[in-house]
Amino acid sequence: MRTSIATVALSGTLEEKLRAAAEAGFDAVELFEDDLIASPLSPERIRSLARELGLGIELYQPFRDVEALPPELFERGLRRARHTFQLMNRLGATTLLVCSNCSAEAMDDDALAAEQLRRLAEVAADHGIRIAYEALAWGRYVDDELHAWRIIAAADHPALGLCLDSFHTLSRRSDPSAIRRIPGEKIFFVQLADAPRLNADVLEWSRHHRCFPGEGGFDLAGFVAEVLATGYRGPLSLEVFNDVFRQADPRHTAVHAMRSLLALQEGLGLRPAPPPAELRGWALVEIAVDDRSAPAAAELLGSLGFSRAARHRLEPVELWRQGEIRILLDARGRPSAGGGTGPRLSALALRSDDPDRSARRARALLAPPRPLRPEVMGEDAVELVAPDGTSLLLCPAGGTGSRVTGFRPLPAATAPRPDAGLSHIDHVELGQPLDRFEEALLFFRSVLGMRLEESQELTAPEGLIRGRSVSSPSGEVRIALTAPLVEGGRAPGGQHLALACGDVFATARALRALGAPILPVPGNYYEHLAASAELEPDLIEAMREHGILCDRDRHGGTLFHLYTAALGRLRFEVVQRVGGYRGLGAANAFVWRAARRARRGR
């Protein structure tokens, strides 16, 4: 199906928006009146620019408050419409979106609405233009597409049809099957937007919180399936009003938008893509450091019970190990995507059932793999880049990690240091820039086939934080994504690497003996715990001694966890899961985040 995006979904000047839409592969745009008015380009120049870019101007919008009016107001509306039709002829746009009347002058009179829309359609037809009538969810009398359709049917003019918008439909009802009753040839245009389920005023909800399909709480695939069942074969157009996208880089947003549309079409069987390959756990993680932080990183890893296992023959890159955990310490000092060379998780290597298929899928979803760095992962791996610049290396599931090539093993020390009982990687948290959060969710869900878990709001001294984690269907790979909830909130941008152990108290004692910098937890936390949880006083005392937090879920599972001091953006977490605990300890985020800030302040 043809793909389109509303210029209002993108930031920048009209020219920047058109170029971004074209580069992302859209066939067309919906041109917003404000974008035209604010553009220094003439309508003729906009038309030729769009043509040069291979974009159609599929729809011009919005045209407001014209139907169901007293005669003299309607005549005024018609004059305005004639001017708009002439403008559209200069733009080469052939469909005008007319929104259901929201004005105080509108009358609750369907026959009058039909008569006036018919006259409007007659004038439009004289200009070679069609009218697509859209029921806004906050329209004064017409707020539902079936009501709009009844008016259109009564008006009965070939140049008058319906514009469907998934937001208006799905914000009012979860079942869109009534759309089937509308003949497909009378549906002139279809706009798609998802949105989180909110208890908000519908206008505010629509204007600020729309998101791309697959990112909110609406069933967009179900909606589009109903639309297709009518026989509609026009474009699918993304009309997304979102505060964050309006200030993000339009080229990023356009690719992100197109990826959402590709994934939606894949889900409907309209555009097959290679299915995602199952992820089978962590092969290794790479920590990038620079000259200054490399010694501190090595010291921290040592204090956590890791041993240096191998060193690269040519590059300042070391392999550290403990249990099944493998960490590459990369001291080449490469700058991060956001600038800076300080310590951070720079690459996550995941075992995949089929890295080649993952690569083909990634290409199909506009996330082409990077040329490989075989010095790190061997030649069978595939490297993708997450929206925040983190490298994702997919390596064959059978790989034991011996794929790290070019390394010279270090001889085992004669008296090996004791480890701390850390066995494997439990999960990773990646702090995202606010304007990449949705894109990151969509990337992990669509490209890697991971599942989105519930969205959470976390409190931190720096401000509210949005958190949502993604997990592989097998549950073997979990990544928590976080971002400041509002613009202007200071981006925590933190990352953490959560390492699992079988006995958190034994590990805590080992870490103490090794001199690990454990984040201290306020005494108030343990007093609160003593009052509210059914934990033995001795257990609470042991937790207090080692800075261990705990969280219990509804199913009787318990998480014990502790944090280390930070290394640049990165900190380590040690976790022990008991009784099938599934969460990530989000209930304690406010405690350790405050503790971290208190420590930094000292």
Binding site for Mg ion (CB under 5 A): 147, 165, 191, 239
| Pick 165 or 439: Cβ nearer Mg ion | 165
CA distance 57 to 43: 11
Q: DSSP character for 380?
A: T
Identify whether the C-beta of residue 99 lies closer than 8 Å to the C-beta of residue 67.
Answer: no
Cα–Cα separations (whole angstroms), residue 421 to 1, 500, 504, 507: 54, 9, 9, 6
| Pick 147 or 417: Cβ nearer Mg ion | 147
Shortest Å, Cβ 6 to Mg ion: 8
Cα–Cα separations (whole angstroms), residue 105 to 68, 101, 239, 464: 8, 9, 27, 43
| 568 CB-side CA count, 13 A | 21
Shortest Å, Cβ 542 to Mg ion: 58
Q: Is the dihedral of CA 305, 475, 213, 168 positive or negative?
A: negative
Shortest Å, Cβ 144 to Mg ion: 5
Shortest Å, Cβ 53 to Mg ion: 23
Shortest Å, Cβ 447 to Mg ion: 28
Q: DSSP character for 247?
A: G
Cβ neighbours of 583 (radius 10 Å): 17
Identify whether the C-beta of residue 493 lies closer than 8 Å to the C-beta of residue 285.
Answer: no
Pairing of strands 344-352, 325-330: unpaired
| Among 179, 196, 190, 364, residue whose Cα is nearest residue 266 | 364
62: cis peptide before it, omega within 30°?
yes
| Pick 66 or 548: Cβ nearer Mg ion | 66
| Pick 35 or 239: Cβ nearer Mg ion | 239
| Pick 134 or 439: Cβ nearer Mg ion | 134
| Pick 162 or 465: Cβ nearer Mg ion | 162
One-letter amino acid at 75 equals E
Shortest Å, Cβ 529 to Mg ion: 50
| Pick 136 or 394: Cβ nearer Mg ion | 136
Shortest Å, Cβ 137 to Mg ion: 9
Q: Which residue is nearest to Mg ion (CB)?
A: 165
| Pick 239 or 438: Cβ nearer Mg ion | 239
CA distance 20 to 253: 8
Tokens of 32: 């917003």
Q: Concatenated DSSP letters for 127-187?
A: TT-EEEEE--TT-SS--SHHHHHHHHHHH--TTEEEEEEHHHHHHH-S--GGGGGS-GGGE
Cα-to-chain-centroid distance, residue 23? 20
Shortest Å, Cβ 193 to Mg ion: 8
Identify whether the C-beta of residue 351 lies closer than 8 Å to the C-beta of residue 397.
Answer: yes
| Pick 215 or 239: Cβ nearer Mg ion | 239
* 346 three-class SS: strand
Q: Concatenated DSSP letters for 372-430?
A: P-HHHH-TT-EEEE-TTS-EEEEEETT--STT--SEEEPPPPSSPPP---EEEEEEEEE
Shortest Å, Cβ 238 to Mg ion: 10
| Pick 143 or 356: Cβ nearer Mg ion | 143
CA distance 76 to 82: 10
| Pick 160 or 562: Cβ nearer Mg ion | 160
Identify whether the C-beta of residue 212 lies closer than 8 Å to the C-beta of residue 442.
Answer: yes
Shortest Å, Cβ 62 to Mg ion: 8
Cα angle 558-455-246, degrees, rounded to a multiple of 5 = 155
Tokens of 424: 């494997």
Shortest Å, Cβ 191 to Mg ion: 4
Residues in contact with 532: Cβ distance below 8 Å, sequence separation at least 6, in sequence order: none
CA distance 43 to 131: 20
Shortest Å, Cβ 13 to Mg ion: 22
| Among 172, 178, 175, 176, residue whose Cα is nearest residue 195 | 172
**Where do the H-state alpha helices sit in 237-278?**
250-267
Q: Distance between the two ends of the chain, CA-based, in angstroms?
A: 59
| Pick 147 or 321: Cβ nearer Mg ion | 147
Tokens of 65: 């408050």
Shortest Å, Cβ 125 to Mg ion: 23
One-letter amino acid at 328 equals L
Shortest Å, Cβ 163 to Mg ion: 7
| Pick 27 or 144: Cβ nearer Mg ion | 144
| Pick 189 or 572: Cβ nearer Mg ion | 189
